[in-house]
Amino acid sequence: MWWQNFFHGIALDLWRAAVTPEQTKAEADFIIQQLRVPDGAKLLDVPCGNGRLSLELAARGYQLTGVDFASEFIAEAKVKSAAQGLLVHWQERDMRDLPWQEEFAGAFCFGNSFGYLGDQENEDFLKAVASSLQDGARFILDAPATAECSLPTFSEHRSFDVGDITLKVDNRYDHEQSRMLTDYHFIRDGQDDCRPGSQRIYTYRELANLCRKYGLNVEASYSSLSADPFHLGAHRLLMVCKKA
């Protein structure tokens, strides 16, 4: 699997530089508004990356468990939580490997992390999240790779500058598999680190049906942190589900 060797080094450096503290605070505000949980509730952040959202929410008094398989990110998260005096339960494990049963009052998957796996493995993730939630708990899925977001603006070649890193992206859409196949070129100091990637492109209907299959009924879908309604051509899908 491509993702097993992707999330280290320069790829993580780019992510750190791309996300501002202001964005993290705005996303944390949105999460709390949409999950509708009481103060101090237990929340699951999966995958959590370097823990930016878990740390922000823990600082607000919530009990966070952060799950990610990237050892470099989990190690960073542990250092940050210790430095800030925050208790967060960090777990280095696959996003499908969620051993908790009806443990959490809410969960969220942010950062365009859904869809990297094969079809059954993506379903396994949703099933695991549902099992970890208490009845009536909510789950927010951040899915900007949904077909209605990604295909209207599809481009074979794109380039971005983030800090001292240039990211060049070469895309190919495989319509038979409904997957975006991408070569990511991370360029810094004249060095080109090329890493392949692949992501399943679900339509909104497919994604909503998958969530319902595992008891996660869609309550609302937004295109922004301001809770604007989702629409064709939106840059982001924030799907809010409630466990039946």
Nearest to 10 by CA among 117, 182, 162, 180: 162
Do residues 146 and 81 make contact, with C-beta atoms less than 8 angstroms apart?
no
CA angle 131, 135, 140 (to 5 degrees): 70
Mean pLDDT of the chain: 96
- What count of residues does the chain have? 244
pLDDT band at 7 (very low <50, low <70, confident <90, very high): confident
Q: What is the mean pLDDT of residues 79-98?
A: 97
Give yes or no for a contact between 63 and 43, defined as CB atoms under 8 angstroms apart.
yes
CATH architecture of the region 149-199: Single Sheet (2.20)
> Any bridge partners for residue 8, and if so which?
none
Tell me which residue has tokens 């679900």. Answer: 202
pTM: 0.94
How does DSSP classify residue 229?
A: B
Instruction: Give the pLDDT mean for 17-27.
Output: 94
The whole-number pLDDT of residue 193 equals 95
| CB neighbourhood size of 121 (10 A) | 14
pLDDT at 192: 96
Which residue ranges make up each domain of the chain?
2-142+203-243, 149-199
Min mean pLDDT across 8-17, 174-183, 189-198, 213-222 is at 8-17
Q: Bigger pLDDT: 4 or 61? A: 61
The third-level CATH classification (topology) of the domain covering 2-142+203-243 is Rossmann fold (3.40.50)
